Structure 1
Amino acid sequence: MNKAAEMNELRKLQFDDLEDATDEATRLLQTGYQAKGRWTLGQICRHLRLVQDPSIDGYPWWMSAFAFLRPVMRRTLLPKILTTDSPRGIPTSPPFQPGADLDDALEVERFAASVVRLKNHNGPFAPHPAFGKLERERLLQVHTAHAAHHLRFLDPDEPNTH
């Protein structure tokens, strides 16, 4: 494999639940990492939190403008999102883009707190902007797959010894 292809090769990463994602973020923080994308660990964790928290707090009203597309998105995009090779290059809406110069340790901690909050939430969840109202377990699967999608762009400096 040539160097360019190697740089584009991403880890196959799949988590059983969001706690596995926080464990991986913590491991990357401890071992160090090489980014194969444009975001640092801190930026990824901030983005994940910015996307997760509205599941409880509600998404911006304008994200419902294309709600009529949700059945199509659920049928076509959702199965792809839930794989270990989810699509790349989908633009991130500005409210969910992380800023620059974020502290990795602080953002990993905040991501972990967001996961605990999400897992402990007993009330209703806001409809997902792309997929609409999802059952609790499916919504958690979406967030778990989303975390794996982004964290696969970071290669740990030390290989996993498990």
Structure 2
Amino acid sequence: MSAIPSPATSRRSFLRSGAGIATAGAAVAAGGGYYLLHRPARDRQLVLGRISDAMAEVERLSAGVVQPLDAATAWSWAQTLEHCAQSIEFSLQGFPAHKSALFQNTLGSAALAVFAWRGRMSHNLAEPIPGAPALDANASAEGALARLRQAVQDFGAHTGPLQPHFAYGALSRAQYEQAHAMHLANHLSAFDLAAA
């Protein structure tokens, strides 16, 4: 598996390409602000670069009494875990619906580059994956956690090609690893353990 460049290296490469600031600005101006600027009022802003780091945080939270941070998410803990599992599963099986190739090659790739540059994703935490089955409002946290663990295990064991992301297009394994970790971190930032 190829190494993910350090945030400093990614920033330098992104800015040196001449696309950095201009692309990010264009993404915000053209509606990509959904991807770049969304931040709930309360958010732990976790920075996790590997799926294993994200899953360690999932396990830490799951071992206690998890509570959403005020207004940070509209989903329950179980629905959040289910959504994150869907994203990983779709990277192996194929996403049910895609943004246009134009979007993927402009705003989508620019958003992912900015996320990689700063090491953190920000997106609407109540936005479902396009075309994905609705999240189960009655899902159990135990069942959703088991599904997420299985999806992570399947991703780790997968040796075939990965499917294009619905918004970012074709990604390398290292890019997908980072994207999944950042996606998990963004959602996990909306939860914390209840005070004892």
Q: State the TM-score bracket (shorter-chain normalisation).
A: 0.7 to 0.9
In structure 2, the CA distance between the partners of 1:54 and 1:94, relative to structure 1 (3 Å rule), is: closer
Q: Which has the higher contact order (CA 8 A, sep 6+)?
A: 1
Q: Who is 2:184 aligned against?
A: 147
Q: Who is 1:128 aligned against?
A: 165
Q: Who is 1:42 aligned against?
A: 78
Aligned residue-pair number: 151
Shift of 1:89: 5.8
Q: Who is 1:119 aligned against?
A: 156
CA distance in 2, matches of 1:94, 1:125: 19
How big is each residue's C-alpha offset from its partner over 1:33-65, in whole Å with a ceiling of 9 and x where there is no partner?
2212211221111001111111111122x425x
Q: Who is 1:3 aligned against?
A: none
Q: Is the 8 A contact 2:121 2:182 kept in 1?
A: no
In structure 2, the CA distance between the partners of 1:85 and 1:110, relative to structure 1 (3 Å rule), is: closer
How big is each residue's C-alpha offset from its partner over 1:90-112, in whole Å with a ceiling of 9 and x where there is no partner?
73235154220211122112101
CA distance in 1, matches of 2:124, 2:113: 14
CA distance in 2, matches of 1:75, 1:54: 18
Shift of 1:158: 5.4
In structure 2, the CA distance between the partners of 1:57 and 1:87, relative to structure 1 (3 Å rule), is: closer
CA distance in 2, matches of 1:71, 1:14: 25
Among 53, 58, 62, the residue aligned to 1:25: 58
CA distance in 1, matches of 2:80, 2:126: 15
For the pair 1:13 / 2:50, whether they are aligned, the reply is no
Q: What residue ranges of structure 2 are gaps of 5+ in the alignment?
A: 1-39
Give the alignment's TM-score, normalised by structure 1. Answer: 0.82
Q: Is the 8 A contact 2:74 2:125 kept in 1?
A: no
Q: Is the 8 A contact 1:43 1:107 kept in 2?
A: yes
Secondary structure in structure 1 of the residue aligned to 2:98: helix
Instruction: Give the share of equivalent positions with the same residue, in percent.
Output: 24
Shift of 1:80: 3.9
Runs of 4+ in 1 over 6 A off after TM superposition: none
Letter in 2 for 1:67: A
Give the alignment's TM-score, normalised by structure 2. Answer: 0.69
- Counterpart mapping for 1:20-99 below 5 A: 20-36=53-69, 37-60=73-96, 62-63=97-98, 66-82=100-116, 83-84=119-120, 86-88=122-124, 91-92=127-128, 93-95=130-132, 97-99=134-136
Between 78-87 and 109-118, the greater mean CA deviation after superposition: 78-87
Q: What residue ranges of structure 1 are gaps of 5+ in the alignment?
A: 1-6
